[in-house]
Amino acid sequence: KQEVTQIPAALSVPEGENLVLNCSFTDSAIYNLQWFRQDPGKGLTSLLLIQSSQREQTSGRLNASLDKSSGRSTLYIAASQPGDSATYLCAVHNAGNNRKLIWGLGTSLAVNP
Amino acid sequence: EAQVTQNPRYLITVTGKKLTVTCSQNMNHEYMSWYRQDPGLGLRQIYYSMNVEVTDKGDVPEGYKVSRKEKRNFPLILESPSPNQTSLYFCASSPGQGLGGYTFGSGTRLTVV
């Protein structure tokens, strides 16, 4: 059974720091992995999608990597800003009949001015 | 604009009064699903649909119904809502066979009193 773990659960950093959020998963039979951002009580915004055959994806200050064999993904945020404060969720798209997403519980990020 | 539209955004209702949350996507996606999000439990799948007239239970289907009569629409029906169904609900869609990522609606915050 696929399980997704995100570390750390919470993170508080000063503005300008580069930071890394971690996501690990137990079953490498995946279609892809997706990183989302969620502001408190709000919807889910897709940040990056990495297909299982890819190693990384970049969008602006964000870079996500995928190592399927070791069951790990990292989200790198460069030069963090207060507007980056949110919860970051990692979701693994399981291969198989359901094709459902398996979610981590998220990392709550606070970037302090 | 490619999007998933959920309505309503907020809903307060009383126990036992039937309600429907609508979901519509304009991307011609085959796959649609419903999730609920609760503090400490993360996102859990309620129901999913792989195509028109094909629906199946997710992890927490009790107390919910769905239908998929058209490709674009996937309503969530609560026949007799109870307070334990108070939650934040998300509808999502994706292309078939893991070809792309998921797009989520803005969420429906439901309170059952």
Task: Report the candidate in A57, A45, A33 with the shortest Cα–Cα distance to residue A86.
Answer: A45
Q: Inspect the interface and report whether the beta carbons of A99 and B48 lie closer than 8 Å.
A: yes
Rounded mean pLDDT of chain A? 93
B10-69: pLDDT as tens digits: 999 999 999 999 999 999 999 999 999 998 898 999 999 999 999 999 999 999 999 999
Identify the pLDDT of residue B43.
92
- Is the predicted pLDDT of residue B96 greater than 80, yes or no? no
A49 contact partners, CB below 8 Å, separation of at least 6: A32, A33, A34, A35, A57, B100, B101
Identify the pLDDT of residue B33.
95
For residue B101, what pLDDT band results from cuts at 50, 70 and 90? Answer: confident
For residues B5 and B107, the answer to whether their CB atoms sit within 8 Å is no
For B:18-47, CB contacts with A below 8 A are 31, 33, 35, 40, 42-43, 45
DSSP string of chain A? ---EEEE-SEEEEETT--EEEEEEES---EEEEEEEEE-TT--EEEEEEEETT-SEEEETTEEEEEETTTTEEEEEE-S--GGG-EEEEEEEEE-SSS--EEE---EEEEEE-
Identify the pLDDT of residue B2.
85
User: Which residues, given as ranges, of chain A have pLDDT below 70?
Assistant: 97-98
Q: Which of B42, B98, B103 is facing A105, going by the closest CB pair?
A: B42
Range A70-81 burial, b when 16+ CB lie within 10 A, else e = ebebbbebeebe
Identify the pLDDT of residue A98.
63
Q: Inspect the interface and report whether the beta carbons of B98 and A31 lie closer than 8 Å.
A: yes
- The residues pairing with B88 across neighbouring beta strands, listed in sequence order, are B37, B109
